[in-house]
Every structure is written in structure tokens, then in C-alpha cells.
């Protein structure tokens, strides 16, 4: 039986990005040694999207499917305002039929997604 999921973010400045997740996003963490933080994530869901190209990352000598991380929230505009107060740069929100989204820049310069879904989520369905 599958017991959980472990996500990997590849960063050009992992120490700065780890601090961002710990301090700015306030994700609970444990230090596995030498500043290598392992973070607890909020509840998650998985969607499989079609792709016209190979989207892979080599890991453990195998070509693994690539992934895009979107954090989810209930009020995107208020989260953007809070992040802006912390000095975090977010892109302009984009509205789509599935929700409102932005991306936020990590200290390394990489970006992750943030969105407010307008569709039913597995998190909502699983918690009821």
C-alpha cells in the first residue's frame, strides 16, 4: 500500500529556498543533518496532464516524469498581499475556468505555482 508522497524541488540555492519554505511559508520541518530540511506539506492532490514533449528529470539513474508544483489556497489575493509584505515577488494573477493562478519566485530565482481552485478538489471531497 502507498503510504504517502515525497516531492523533490531542484534548486540552484537550496539553503535559501529551504529557509523560504520554513520562515516565509511556515511549513513545519525537521533537520535531517547539515541543514537538510524535510518539510511537511499541506494536503495534496495529483492531476495528470497531457504533454507534447518529454518532461523528465533524471533521478537515481532513471528518467522520471517531470512535475510542476502548485500550492493551493482559498483566497489568492490575500495570500499574494501577505507574500508581498514578506518581499516575495508574485506574477500577475491569471483567471481560467479552473481557478486563479500566479507564480511566486523563490530566493533561488526558481518559481512555483500558487492557485485558488474554482473546481471541486480532492482535498475537499476527501475531508467530508
**Residue ranges of the domains in the chain?**
14-43+68-127
Cell numbers found for residue 44: 495534496
Structure pTM?
0.88
The tens digit of pLDDT for each residue in 52-64 reads 888 888 889 999 9
Spatial CB neighbours of 6, under 8 Å, sequence gap ≥ 6? none
Cell numbers found for residue 30: 525537521
Q: Which residues pair with 37 in a beta bridge?
A: 31
Q: How far apart are CA 118 and CA 96, in angstroms?
A: 9
Percent of the chain with pLDDT over 90: 78
Tell me which of 86 and 128 has the higher pLDDT: 86
Do 42 and 7 form a contact (C-beta atoms < 8 A)?
no
3-state secondary structure of 34: coil
Task: Return the CATH number of 14-43+68-127, one of 3.40.50.1370, 3.10.180.10, 1.10.3720.10, 3.30.1370.60.
Answer: 3.10.180.10
Task: Tell me which range, 6-10, 37-41, 48-52, is most confidently predicted by mean pLDDT.
Answer: 37-41
Average pLDDT for residues 60-73, to the nearest whole number?
A: 93
Q: Is the pLDDT of residue 127 over 90?
A: no
Amino acid at each position: 500500500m502507498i503510504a504517502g508522497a515525497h516531492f523533490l524541488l531542484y534548486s540552484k540555492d537550496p539553503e535559501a529556498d529551504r529557509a523560504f519554505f520554513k520562515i516565509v511559508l511556515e511549513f513545519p520541518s525537521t533537520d535531517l543533518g547539515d541543514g537538510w530540511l524535510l518539510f511537511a506539506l499541506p494536503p495534496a492532490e495529483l492531476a495528470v496532464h497531457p504533454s507534447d514533449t518529454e518532461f523528465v528529470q533524471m533521478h537515481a539513474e532513471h528518467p522520471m516524469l517531470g512535475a510542476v508544483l502548485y500550492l493551493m489556497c482559498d483566497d489568492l489575493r490575500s495570500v499574494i498581499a501577505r507574500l508581498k509584505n514578506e518581499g516575495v515577488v508574485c506574477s500577475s494573477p491569471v483567471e481560467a475556468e479552473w481557478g486563479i493562478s500566479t507564480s511566486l519566485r523563490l530566493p533561488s530565482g526558481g518559481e512555483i505555482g500558487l492557485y485558488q481552485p474554482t473546481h471541486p478538489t480532492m482535498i475537499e471531497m476527501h475531508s467530508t
